[in-house]
């Protein structure tokens, strides 16, 4: 251990989140999802205009595009699973699998006595009962998952802002 355990777990969580973001970018998933969303939005606008104008020819032409848009929606639904093929096994290497393989995981076995109290509760029972606004204790595995959630949110927000600025610069 080089520093405090919570700092090390936090750093590992941030690195895991960055790796996941890199995999998503390398596979072109976010870019493709944005392309599909733009195409689908254009399809919806054409469809709405045809319905408002009650133009049967336009509606028939748009109906021929329906299969393509359905295929795009299916592709969009399956895209996040491509990253999961790599991320999920790696996640279980870090957190372990106490239910099926009884593998302890790198984080829990490296920090067996780690415990911390956070001012919110995102354990399953608390989330389902919408009772998250009270303190809760987390072990190493739980704290790692909390770090992943927050790091993922922050990295995703930064990535989206970066993409927006890059897109705005291309238009200028």
* pLDDT tier at 134, thresholds 50, 70, 90: confident
pLDDT score, position 153: 93
pLDDT at 143 > cutoff 90: yes
Tokens representing 171? 């238009």
| Best-predicted range by mean pLDDT (11-20, 21-30, 51-60, 124-133) | 11-20
Residue 2 pLDDT exceeds 70: no
Q: Give 33: exposed, middle or buried? Use CB within 10 Å, 0-12, 13-18, 19+.
A: middle
The pLDDT of 148-172, averaged and rounded, is 89
pLDDT tops 80 at residue 1: no
Q: What is the pLDDT of residue 16?
A: 93
* pLDDT of res. 111: 92
Taking the model in full, what pTM does it have?
0.74
**What tens digit of pLDDT does each residue of 40-86 get?**
888 888 888 888 888 778 777 777 788 888 888 888 888 878 888 88
**pLDDT band of 9, cuts 50, 70, 90:** very high
Q: What is the mean pLDDT of the chain?
A: 86
pLDDT band at residue 154, thresholds of 50, 70 and 90? very high
User: How do residues 82-114 score in pLDDT, each as one tens digit?
Assistant: 888 888 888 999 998 878 888 888 999 999 999
């Amino acid at each position: 251990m080089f520093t405090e355990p919570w700092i090390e777990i936090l750093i590992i969580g941030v690195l895991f989140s960055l790796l996941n973001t890199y995999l998503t970018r390398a596979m072109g998933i976010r870019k493709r999802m944005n392309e599909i969303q733009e195409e689908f939005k254009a399809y919806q606008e054409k469809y709405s205009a045809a319905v408002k104008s009650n133009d049967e020819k336009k509606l028939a032409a748009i109906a021929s595009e329906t299969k393509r848009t359905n295929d795009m929606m299916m592709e969009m639904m399956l895209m996040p699973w491509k990253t999961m093929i790599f991320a999920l096994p790696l996640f279980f290497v870090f957190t372990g699998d106490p239910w099926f393989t009884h593998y302890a995981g790198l984080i829990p076995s490296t920090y067996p006595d780690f415990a911390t109290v956070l001012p919110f509760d995102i354990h399953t029972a608390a989330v389902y009962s919408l009772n998250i606004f009270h303190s809760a204790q987390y072990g190493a595995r739980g704290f790692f998952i909390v770090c992943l959630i927050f790091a993922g949110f922050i990295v995703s927000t930064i990535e989206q802002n970066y993409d927006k600025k890059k897109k705005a610069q291309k238009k200028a």
